[in-house]
Amino acid sequence: MPAADREQVRAYAPGRVNLIGDHTDYTGGWVLPMAIDRGTTVELRRGGSSVELTSASEPEEFRAPLGLSREEAASTAGWGRYVAGVMAVLRPSAGGTGTVSSDLPIGAGLSSSSSLTVAAALALGFGGSALDLARLGQQAETLGSGVPGGIMDQLCSAAGVAGHALLIDCTNLTVDPVPLPPEAEVLVAHCGRPRTLVGSPYAERRAACEAAAGQIGPLRDASLADAESLADRVLRRRARHVVTENTRVLAAAEALGAADLAAVGSLMSASHASLRDDFEVSTPELDALVMQLEAVRGVFGARLTGAGFGGCVVALAEPGTLARIDPASLPGPIWLVHPSPGARVEGAG
Ligand code: GLA
């Protein structure tokens, strides 16, 4: 079709911050993330037999023909590998030319890659449910990055609800919005150490959880006594984190629904300790930042958010707390984030 007749699409997908429930999604447990008011926009003039995208923040361009195989997607380099993953899984009927822009910090644990994947799928014509969009995004991202991630990030980006966190059951894939009370402020602070899950021990942690489940059954159904019965010291600690974290997520969702922010905050602090001591995915920078934020008046609790190994800390605080923090005293930027709607196509025609 002549370029002038091509359909113009603008797709947007938010990033997410996880309030509590890390390293529980890939064993079918519970998580409590919220989509945030930062995300990725893909603008595409649809048509033609290839996808050509430039990025507002990255120098390299992405260009690939329709019909890209899974193997070709898996060997694509740079940010374009997420778009390549989408193309190989979605197999869109038309390509397009356009731009990608994002106001999410990259590699900070706020799901910049999932928001790109989900926005690219919408721009390339995906038209199903939020859950199907998340499933497609998860497959595409695993293909593009080689990291066997769970479904939390894509499902939160696809199904976000304004003003609400999402209690996600990662076995049944149900999403229950939990209102964030007006007395709560959510802060996200970067610890100064960037992270990437590619080449990180993420896959090793996932394999350890699978090994533990092989001995005591699905970790979602396991009791603390089951976890403690594991003979291997490392597997025991990994399983103990997952079992106790699942309990904390359910308790936090209930406490948040009841606007008991002090209770949510102490569950967040306990979650950080478990991720640090039992799951061993924290870093000295993350630990120091959690302690620093927890010492600020008005902060109910703080923890690393996402996979760990660097990136961001999330804090639950009373409104106005950000103004009491001197940004110069922090190792990286700090953002006030708001629970936001999920991915959408913003304009076509
Ligand atoms: C990454 C993955 C998610 C989840 C978190 C840890 O963000 O993409 O699926 O496993 O780590 O909770």
| pLDDT at position 200 | 79
Give exposure, 222-248, as e/b (b: 16+ Cβ within 10 Å): beeebbeebeeeebbbbbbbbbbbbeb
Choice from 20, 25, 106 to test ligand 1 binding pocket (greatest atom count within 8 A of CB): 25
pLDDT digits (tens), the chain, 349 positions: 455 557 999 999 999 999 999 999 999 999 999 999 999 999 999 999 999 999 999 999 999 999 999 999 999 999 999 999 999 999 999 999 999 999 998 888 899 999 999 999 999 999 999 999 999 999 999 999 999 999 999 999 999 999 999 999 999 999 999 999 999 999 999 999 877 777 779 999 999 999 999 999 999 999 999 999 999 999 999 999 999 999 999 999 999 999 999 999 999 999 999 999 999 999 999 999 999 999 999 999 999 999 999 999 999 999 999 999 999 999 999 999 999 999 999 865 4
**Beta-sheet strands, E only, within the chain:** 7-20, 30-46, 50-55, 62-65, 96-102, 164-169, 174-179, 185-190, 299-304, 312-317, 334-337, 344-348
Pocket of ligand 1, beta carbon within 6 A: 22-23, 25-26, 149-150, 152-153, 306-307
Which positions are annotated as active-site residues? Answer: 153
pTM above 0.75, yes or no: yes
| pLDDT at position 4 | 53
Choice from 153, 170, 219, 249 to test ligand 1 binding pocket (greatest atom count within 8 A of CB): 153
